[in-house]
């Protein structure tokens, strides 16, 4: 499996994401935001956490208009995988590749701590290594992680089994405690918690490693 990790000014989890992919057996290339093409034969594009462009205007709003995003959209339209974590999730909703929006946390404070999540579906190549209803722990580190969407969108996400993870409790005010969602074709995942920061026991937990392993296995067997 070949992964490309996008790098924007202000990204601070790009290396962490690359390491998580490599530990799952992937080859990885870092791609600068001013590039206009992705490397050949890329299976998945990772959009890392951080504070792209200093979160100026809105989180992810400027990054979503970077030159590389045209190639990201084309990749997704061809059925390629994409994984957006934290700021990467914000970028994905700003591009329209995922529905909804992410706004200021309900408590108006930056949240940085491990949180418990429930795996809501295993019917995706990102989550097939878990069991439905399994509790996992990933860290969060965000100020604008409060997921909102209209009632029709929320109903569709639930009805189509596209909620990947939910918070166990009200962490940031997100509608229906949503922590991560899938695209209609189930090949794009956006989530606020950081699986790449929970992918090695040396980091304090390895619950996130199964996400990367599941994806690598799916790409190889596809």
Q: Are strands 188-191 and 81-85 parallel, antiparallel or unpaired?
A: parallel
∠ Cα 35 41 45 (to 5°): 55
> What rounded mean pLDDT belongs to the chain?
96
For the stretch 55-80, pLDDT in tens is: 998 999 999 999 999 999 999 999 99
pLDDT digits (tens, 9 = 90+) for 168-216: 999 999 999 999 999 999 999 999 999 999 999 988 899 999 999 999 8
Question: Known catalytic residue: 86?
Answer: yes
Are the C-beta atoms of residues 215 and 125 closer than 8 Å to each other?
Answer: yes
* Model pLDDT for residues 111-146, shown as the tens digit of each residue: 999 999 999 999 999 999 999 999 999 999 999 999
Which residue among the candidates 13, 59, 86, 94 is catalytic per the annotation?
86
pLDDT confidence of residue 112: 97
Length of the chain: 222
Give the predicted TM-score (pTM) of the model: 0.97
DSSP assignment string, 178-221: EEEEE-TTS-EEEESS-GGGGSBGGGTB-TTHHHHHHHHHHHHH
Q: How many CB atoms lie within 10 A of CB 23?
A: 16
Which 8-state DSSP code applies to residue 34?
T
Active site residue 59: no
Clarify whether 194 is annotated catalytic: yes
Residue 222 has pLDDT above 80, yes or no: no
């Amino acid at each position: 499996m070949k992964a490309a990790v996008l790098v924007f000014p202000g990204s601070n989890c790009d290396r962490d994401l690359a390491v998580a992919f490599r530990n799952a057996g992937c080859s990885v290339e870092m791609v600068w935001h001013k590039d206009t093409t992705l490397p050949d034969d890329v299976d998945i594009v990772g959009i890392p956490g951080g504070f792209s462009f200093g979160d100026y205007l809105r989180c992810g709003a400027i990054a979503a208009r970077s030159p590389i995003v045209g190639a990201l959209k084309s990749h997704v339209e061809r059925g390629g995988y994409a994984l957006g974590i934290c700021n990467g999730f914000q970028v994905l909703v700003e591009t329209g590749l995922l529905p909804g929006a992410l706004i200021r946390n309900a408590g108006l404070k930056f949240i940085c701590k491990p949180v418990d999540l429930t795996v809501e579906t295993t019917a995706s190549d990102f989550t097939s290594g878990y069991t439905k209803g399994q509790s996992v722990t990933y860290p969060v580190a965000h100020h604008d992680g409060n997921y909102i969407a209209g009632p029709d969108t929320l109903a569709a996400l639930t009805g189509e089994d596209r909620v990947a993870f939910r918070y166990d409790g009200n962490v940031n005010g997100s509608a229906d405690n949503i922590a991560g969602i899938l695209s209609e074709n189930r090949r794009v995942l956006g989530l606020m918690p950081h699986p790449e920061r929970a992918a090695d026991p040396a980091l304090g937990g390895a619950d996130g490693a199964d996400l990367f392993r599941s994806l690598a296995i799916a790409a190889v067997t596809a």
